[in-house]
Amino acid sequence: MSEEAQSTKPSQRRGSTSLERRVDALEQVLIQIYGPERLVLRAGKLQALKQLRSDDLSLKVLALEKLILDDPGITHVPTRREIPKILSRLEDELADMIARRSLEDELEKKIAERMQERHEEYVRDIRNQILKEDGGPETPETLKKLARLAQLDEIGLRGSALDVVRPAALEEVVGQEAAMESLLAKLASPYPQHVLLYGPPGVGKTTVARLVLEAAKKFGQSPFQDQAPFVEADGTTLRWDPREVTNPLLGSVHDPIYQGARRELAESGIPEPKTGLVTEAHGGILFIDEIGEMDPILQNKLLKVLEDKKVRFDSPYYDPEDGNVPQYVHKLFQHGAPADFVLVGATTRHPEDIAPALRSRCAEIFFDPLTPEDIERIVSDAGTKLGLVVEPEAAQMISQYTLEGRRAVTLVVDGYSTAFLRVGERPTVLDRDTIQRVISRSRLSPVKPAITRDPEPGRVFGLAVAGYHGLVLEIEAAAFPAHEHGRGRWHFNDTAGSMAKDSVFNAEACLRRVTGRDLSQYDIHINVIGGGNIDGPSAGVAIFVAAYSALTNSPVRLDTAMTGELSLSGRVKPVGGIPEKIFGASQAGLKRVLVPIDNQTDLPRLADGPEVVLIRTVDDVLREVLL
C-alpha cells in the first residue's frame, strides 16, 4: 500500500464515523417522534423498511429521505460525497417538522382546555335550568334570608302622623281656592294643558296637583282614565348624564358592554332600551317639584318629548336585521316609547327665573301665601284628624311663628307627641303651654316682628317682597344743619342695595322741587331699619316721604304703607310685587296702602285687606300721609 493511501484511509474512516453518527441521530429523533412501532409501519408504507435496516450508509440515508420527506418515489441512492448535503437538508426538514408538531401540540392543548371550559359552562347552564324547573336556585342560605325578609314584613309602624293629617280631598285644602279652581279648569278640559305652579313652600302645591287629577277623572270630558298615573319627581335630583348611560327621567339604552344590561341580551350583543318616568306617566300627570332646579340641557330634552309625545332611542349596537333581537327592542328603537302626559311643574322661584322656552309651553298658576287665619284653620283641621282639640290660643301662637302649612302641621304633630309624653296617654287637648314648649325647642322666630306705631317726624313704612311674601320696611330719616357750610351730604346704609341708592338721588331732586329749600345746607341721614336689601326702585316714594317729614318736622300716619318708583319730575311709577306687598301690609295690620295708579290692574282681591289708595304724584302722597 502506498504512503498516500495509508494516510487517506484513517481520514475517510473518521468522516464515515461522523456521518454514521448523524444518520443514527436522525433515526433516533424519528423514533422519538413516531415511536418504534409506528416508525416501522411508516417505513413499510413508504417502501423504506429494508433500506432502514441496511448496514449500507447510503441506503440508510435513502430510507431517511423517504421517511422525513414522506415521498416513496425517491429512488436515487446518494454517494458518500452527496450524503453530507442530504443530511443537512434532512436535519432542516426534521427541525421544521418538530417545530410544527410542537405548535400543533400547543394548539391542541388550548383547544382541549377551551372545549373543557365550554363543556363545564354548558353543564352549569343545564344544571341551573334543571334547578329552575325543579324548584329554583334556592339554597339554605337564600331561604334563610327570605325568611328574614318575611319576618320584617310582619313588623311595621302605624304610619306617619303627617300622612294622617294630609288633605284627602280638595275641600280640605285651605287658602288656595283660586289656584285649585284654575288648575282644575286646565286639567279637566278635553284638551288639558301643561302647567307651572308658583308659590312659597309649604302651601300645598303637590297635594293640590294630586287631588285635582283625581277630581278631573270624574269629569266626562276629561281625557284622563281611571287608572291615569300621577308620577312624582324632584327636579333637584334629576341630572343629565352626558354619557347618556342613565337617565331616569327620559330613559336610556343599556348597551351590551354596560354592567346594567341583561345577561341574555349582553351575550348576544343586543342593546336594551330602558324607559323612564315620562313613559311611566303616559296617559297621566308627570309632576316635577322644584322644576326650576333642573339641568337646562335636561329641560330642553324634556321639551322635545312634550312636542313629540315619544322618547327616541339610539345605539350603535342595534342591528335591525339581527334575528335574535326581541320584538319589544325592535319596537322601542324603531317607533320610540310613548310619552303622552301632562306636565305639572312646581317651583318656589319667580317666573322670570324659569327658562322662557318652558314657560311658553305651560299655563301659569300662582299659589297665594297663607294668612294667619289660614294657618289657624289648618292647625285646627290637623288636630281633628289626630283626635285633638286645639285651643284657639295654641292655634294663634302657631300662626305667629310660621306661615307655611307644612310647618304648622309639623308643630301640631310635635305638640301631640309632647303632650303624649307628658300625660302618658293619648292626649285630647293641645294647649298653649305645650305649643310654647315646642316652639321654644324649635328656636322659631315670629314671622311678624313687632312694629311700634307712635308717629314721629322722619319715620314711614315702605313695602318690599322677599320670595312670595310681602314685607313692611321701617324707614327713618333725620335732617341736620350741614357739618360744613354749603356742603351738605346724604347718608344711606349700604346694605339696602344699589337700587335703593338711586331712589335716594331721585328723592333728593323731588325734595328740592317740592320744598324749594337749598339742600346743600343739610346733612340728611336715611336708614332702613334692620338693613333689609331693597331689590329695585320701589322704595323711592317711602324714602322721599321720610326725608320730607324729617326736613319739615312733619309727622306721618303710621297706619299707612307705601310703594312706588319716584321719577325726577315727581311722578310715581309702577312697580312689581303689588299682591305680595298688599298681603304683607295686611298681615302687619296696616289699614291703608299707597299704590301707583298704573298698578291698579295688579290689585288682589282680599276680603279683609287694607284700603288701597291710588297715587299719581308726590303731591298725592303727601296729601294722604301727613298729619
* Beta-strand pair 572-573/429-430: unpaired
Contact status, residue 590 vs residue 561, Cβ threshold 8 Å: yes
Phi, psi of 317 (to 5 degrees): -90, -10
Strand partners, 561: 461, 593
In this structure, are 474 and 612 located in the same domain? yes
Which of 390, 415, 442 is the last residue before a domain boundary?
Answer: 442
What is the per-residue DSSP string for 494-550? GGG-HHHHHHHHHHHHHHHHHH---GGGEEEEEEETT-----SSTTHHHHHHHHHHH
Give the whole-number percent of the chain exceeding pLDDT 90: 10
Would you say residue 599 has pLDDT above 80?
Answer: yes
pLDDT per residue as tens digits for the range 79-93: 888 888 888 888 888
What pLDDT sits at residue 158?
64
Q: Which residue has the higher pLDDT, 121 or 245?
A: 121
In this structure, are 222 and 331 located in the same domain? yes
* Residue 237 CB partners (closer than 8 Å, separation 6+): none
Catalytic residue among 380, 538, 549, 586: 538
CA distance 165 to 476: 45
In this structure, are 283 and 380 located in the same domain? no
CA distance 354 to 372: 29
Would you say residue 75 has pLDDT above 80?
Answer: yes
pLDDT band at 279 (very low <50, low <70, confident <90, very high): very high
CA angle, corner 10, sides to 9 and 15, nearest 5?
Answer: 95
In this structure, are 60 and 187 located in the same domain? no
pLDDT per residue as tens digits for the range 140-170: 777 788 888 888 887 776 667 777 888 888 8
Joined grid coordinates for residue 568: 325726577
Q: Indicate which CATH number applies to the domain containing 480.
A: 3.30.230.10
The mean per-residue pLDDT over the stretch 244-272 comes to: 71
Which of 115, 138, 161 is the last residue before a domain boundary?
Answer: 138
- Determine whether 538 is an active site residue: yes
Please check whether residue 330 lies inside any domain of the structure. yes
Instruction: Out of 122-136, 214-228, 349-363, pick the least confident.
Output: 122-136
What pLDDT sits at residue 280?
92
Question: Per residue in 544-565, is it b (16+ CB within 10 Å) or e — as a string?
Answer: bbbbbbbbbebbbbbebbbbbb
Q: Which of 346, 345, 249 is nearest to 301 (CA)?
A: 249
In this structure, are 511 and 583 located in the same domain? yes
CA angle, corner 87, sides to 84 and 92, nearest 5?
Answer: 130
Catalytic residue among 60, 66, 186, 581: 581
CA 252 to each of CA 246, 247, 373: distance values in angstroms, whole numbers, following the listed order: 6, 5, 48
What pLDDT sits at residue 287?
94
Would you say residue 176 has pLDDT above 60?
Answer: yes
Q: Tell me what the pLDDT averaged over the chain comes to.
A: 82
In this structure, are 361 and 376 located in the same domain? no
What pLDDT sits at residue 452?
62
Domain of 215? 176-366
CA distance 565 to 474: 17
Please check whether residue 160 lies inside any domain of the structure. no
Contact status, residue 301 vs residue 295, Cβ threshold 8 Å: no
Phi, psi of 198 (to 5 degrees): -105, 145
In this structure, are 465 and 425 located in the same domain? no
The mean per-residue pLDDT over the stretch 577-591 comes to: 84
What pLDDT sits at residue 171?
86
Please check whether residue 399 lies inside any domain of the structure. yes
Joined grid coordinates for residue 38: 409506528
Please check whether residue 448 lies inside any domain of the structure. no
CA angle, corner 393, sides to 389 and 396, nearest 5?
Answer: 105
| Positive or negative: CA dihedral 435, 437, 442, 448 | positive
pLDDT per residue as tens digits for the range 448-495: 655 666 778 888 988 888 777 788 888 888 888 888 777 878 887 665
Please check whether residue 449 lies inside any domain of the structure. no
Residue with cell 334629576: 238
In this structure, are 380 and 470 located in the same domain? no
Q: Which of 321, 302, 319, 298 is nearest to 255 (CA)?
A: 319
The mean per-residue pLDDT over the stretch 532-545 comes to: 76
SS3 148: helix
Joined grid coordinates for residue 64: 431517511
- Determine whether 132 is an active site residue: no
CA distance 346 to 362: 12
The 10 Å Cβ neighbour count of residue 6 is 9
Q: Indicate which CATH number applies to the domain containing 387.
A: 1.10.8.60
Q: Which of 156, 155, 154, 158 is nearest to 426 (CA)?
A: 158
CA distance 529 to 473: 7
CA distance 337 to 313: 8
Contact status, residue 597 vs residue 495, Cβ threshold 8 Å: no
pLDDT band at 285 (very low <50, low <70, confident <90, very high): very high
Strand partners, 272: 254
Please check whether residue 47 lies inside any domain of the structure. yes
Q: What is the CA radius of gyration of the chain?
A: 48
- N residues, the chain: 627
pLDDT band at 509 (very low <50, low <70, confident <90, very high): confident
Please check whether residue 351 lies inside any domain of the structure. yes
SS3 125: helix
Please check whether residue 397 lies inside any domain of the structure. yes
In this structure, are 379 and 356 located in the same domain? no
In this structure, are 536 and 574 located in the same domain? yes
What pLDDT sits at residue 316?
82
pLDDT per residue as tens digits for the range 300-327: 889 999 998 998 988 888 888 887 788 8
Strand partners, 474: 461
Joined grid coordinates for residue 345: 311643574
What stretch of H or E contains 260? none
Which of 89, 115, 138 is the last residue before a domain boundary?
Answer: 138
| Domains identified in the chain, total number | 4
In this structure, are 343 and 418 located in the same domain? no
In this structure, are 207 and 293 located in the same domain? yes
